[in-house]
Chain A
Amino acid sequence: MGKISLRKAGKQYGTVEIIRDLDLEIADGEFVVIVGPSGCGKSTLLRMIAGLEATTAGQIVIDGRDVTEALPVERKLAMVFQSYALYPHMTVRQNMGFGLKLAKLSSGAIKTKVDAAADTLKLTPLLDRYPKELSGGQRQRVAIGRAIVREPVGFLFDEPLSNLDAALRVDMRLEIAKLHRTLGTTMIYVTHDQVEAMTLADRIVVLKDGRVMQQGTPYELYEKPANLFVAQFIGSPKMNILACKRNGDGQLDLSGQGFLEMPLRSDAVPVQLGARPEHLSLVAPENGHCRGTVEAREYLGGTTSVFVRNPELGLINVSAPAETGFGIGETVGIHIDNVRLSLFDAAGAAVISSR
């Protein structure tokens, strides 16, 4: 079991509210990733669930039991820290067995469990080493192993990959995904890296200033962002945001730079249009929805990012084929795929098109 619920949970330091009225239901076995910019309270939220930070309002319930006031160990959760936080004076075996030893398990039982976990994580040859004798990736695996041996109802990961180099990060990401498939245990994973979020999550929770901006599958967040913040936070390169206005003909007026056919509900008042670079394409100047001058090109191998300057709409990033012929200084037209764009009202909330 590993059903974790937050009910109107809040965290206040003095007069500063870090987390506010936060509701979150996490199903048993679910992989939930919490993302957000630094300072959004995502780590605090994780530490509240862990019991390392006091929850000052609301409730945290695990498997039907109110654990708001419980000690960390009573919550039966395990945590993997950003710095790994391995005990430097203990061997890998002692590191992994420390919690079991504190729980007064027999040394035989500890050995069995540690050996099993070490086997899963391919740590067996390293069991008698000290943390300082391990590479970053190995330390990371020991930190995960320490979490596994306690057979927790849920795992908490606090930016576990941010201390690794890029290549290792990809490997560990795959390994964590595999671990989740094998164990089937609830996992809550905090990161600022949206690639990690997109690849690992069953469900992503986007946090900003201690509030949930949107939660949903990676697909939902990418294709149907609920607001401007999520739209810009998810996706790399970032979504282009263009000022627009609804005119009398039911068309979208791109600040006088062009028009877009867009069937809209009668009460919708969009003021901004969001289009991802891959939903834009470069065409001859006379064919596009709007036009501009190529200001810069970034060759990325698979594609080329072309930055087009429009006097009213600003700089627009268009993902073009790698071998695109448009050069700097050239005037180009931009075609907008009106099926996959997003519209936002003055408050930044998504406006639903009638499609």
Chain B
Amino acid sequence: MINALRWLVFAIAAFAMNFPILVTLVTSFKSTRELSTNPGLWVQAPTLDNYLAVFQVSDRLNIFLYLFNSITVAFIGTTLAVVLALPAAYAIARGRLGERTLLPFIVNLRAVPLIIFAIPLYMMFQWLALLDTRLGLGLILSIVNLPLALVILVNAIRDLPGELDEAALMDGASRTQILLRVIAPVCRPAIVTSLIFGFITAWNEFLFGLMLTTSKAVPITVGASFFFAASGGGVQWGVASAVMVVGALPPVLLGLIMYRQISGSMTAGAVKG
């Protein structure tokens, strides 16, 4: 009895929280004609026309470019964050360097409204000719990803026994050798987690994409909104839904495959940070 109630609550919660995703998914399979008569939650005549339309490149809309931009900036933003965070995490966890300065500062960074840095970065990028470039957006996304990557990696290294480092010291390894040959391979799960997490975060980022790109480096989150104002008339909801499904799919798939790691690291980042 109580279990049936639990299932009911689960169903309601899952339905309510996933409602917009569900509506978008359903709508993306509706034809333009059906859309005007049936805004409901079912499809009378499923069609892929909207997806075909989304992948039609015009001079105003180019979803391939947006997806490519998102992949590139997420890749830069994620790998750079981990490449910078790993040695620093090692220095913090083992060298006890910056435990009370660098670490809290970077952790706090995660909680600061990002808009604060957006304006000076906009101006700086103008001078450096990094506006509307994938490299520029990727660099900024790595700042967004740094705090969580650092917390995950510091925690992972702290969890390793210090005797592991000492054994390597006795074997004649330098700190850099220990990091590369012992710590990094042993911490691979944590590194993979920060990469996945960073990729999802970077892919889903909107503010910097909106501010720092205009055409060449527009990521999918910003590009998707272009489809809402596509034609002079009203929004083509079918096409708009299809583009949102396409834009949401990569992080959702990644999240579904890796949700165990992600749930673990979310708690790590939240509680231990």
| A joins B in a complex | yes
Contacts from A to B (Cβ < 8 Å): 47, 50-52, 71-73, 77-79, 81-89, 98-99, 102-103, 146, 150
In the bound complex, residues from chain A placing their C-beta under 8 Å from that of B173 are 98, 102
Closest Cβ–Cβ distance, residue B190 to chain A (whole Å): 13
Inter-chain contact B163/A83, CB cutoff 8 Å = yes
Is B99's CB within 8 Å of the partner chain A?
A: no
Roughly how many angstroms separate A103 CA and B188 CA in the complex, as a whole number? 26
Inter-chain contact B163/A102, CB cutoff 8 Å = no
Inter-chain contact B167/A72, CB cutoff 8 Å = no
Contacts from B to A (Cβ < 8 Å): 161, 163-164, 166-173, 177, 181-182, 185-186, 188
* Nearest-neighbor residue (CB-CB) of B169 within chain A: A72
In the bound complex, residues from chain A placing their C-beta under 8 Å from that of B166 are 47, 50, 52, 72, 79, 81, 85
A-B contact pairs, 22 of them (CB 8 A): A47-B166, A50-B170, A51-B169, A71-B169, A71-B172, A73-B169, A79-B170, A81-B166, A81-B167, A82-B163, A85-B166, A87-B164, A87-B167, A87-B168, A87-B182, A87-B186, A89-B182, A89-B186, A98-B181, A99-B171, A102-B177, A150-B171
- Given that A88-B186, A89-B186, A102-B177 are known contacts, is A83 also in contact with B170, CB under 8 Å in the complex? no
Inter-chain contact B170/A73, CB cutoff 8 Å = yes
In the bound complex, residues from chain B placing their C-beta under 8 Å from that of A103 are 172
- Given pairs A71-B169, A88-B186, 5 additional interface contacts (CB within 8 A): A79-B170, A83-B161, A85-B166, A87-B167, A87-B182
Partner of A99, one of B170, B182, B186: B170
In the bound complex, residues from chain B placing their C-beta under 8 Å from that of A82 are 163
Roughly how many angstroms separate A98 CA and B163 CA in the complex, as a whole number? 15
Interface secondary structure of B, over-half rule = helix
Closest Cβ–Cβ distance, residue A354 to chain B (whole Å): 51
Roughly how many angstroms separate A89 CA and B181 CA in the complex, as a whole number? 9
Closest Cβ–Cβ distance, residue B163 to chain A (whole Å): 4
Inter-chain contact A102/B170, CB cutoff 8 Å = no
- Given that A87-B186, A88-B186, A89-B186 are known contacts, is A102 also in contact with B172, CB under 8 Å in the complex? yes
In the bound complex, residues from chain A placing their C-beta under 8 Å from that of B181 are 98
In the bound complex, residues from chain B placing their C-beta under 8 Å from that of A88 are 186
In the bound complex, residues from chain B placing their C-beta under 8 Å from that of A89 are 182, 185-186, 188
In the bound complex, residues from chain A placing their C-beta under 8 Å from that of B169 are 51-52, 71-73
* Nearest-neighbor residue (CB-CB) of A87 within chain B: B182
* Nearest-neighbor residue (CB-CB) of B173 within chain A: A102
Inter-chain contact B163/A85, CB cutoff 8 Å = yes
Roughly how many angstroms separate A71 CA and B188 CA in the complex, as a whole number? 28
In the bound complex, residues from chain B placing their C-beta under 8 Å from that of A150 are 171
Inter-chain contact B161/A78, CB cutoff 8 Å = no
In the bound complex, residues from chain B placing their C-beta under 8 Å from that of A99 are 170-172
Roughly how many angstroms separate A292 CA and B163 CA in the complex, as a whole number? 51
* Nearest-neighbor residue (CB-CB) of B164 within chain A: A85
Closest Cβ–Cβ distance, residue A128 to chain B (whole Å): 17
Closest Cβ–Cβ distance, residue A149 to chain B (whole Å): 10
In the bound complex, residues from chain A placing their C-beta under 8 Å from that of B170 are 50, 52, 72-73, 77-79, 99
Roughly how many angstroms separate A31 CA and B161 CA in the complex, as a whole number? 28
Closest Cβ–Cβ distance, residue B245 to chain A (whole Å): 40
Closest Cβ–Cβ distance, residue A208 to chain B (whole Å): 25
In the bound complex, residues from chain A placing their C-beta under 8 Å from that of B188 are 89
Of the listed residues A52, A82, A103, the one surrounded by the most CB atoms of chain B closer than 10 A to its CB is A52
In the bound complex, residues from chain A placing their C-beta under 8 Å from that of B167 are 79, 81, 85-87, 146
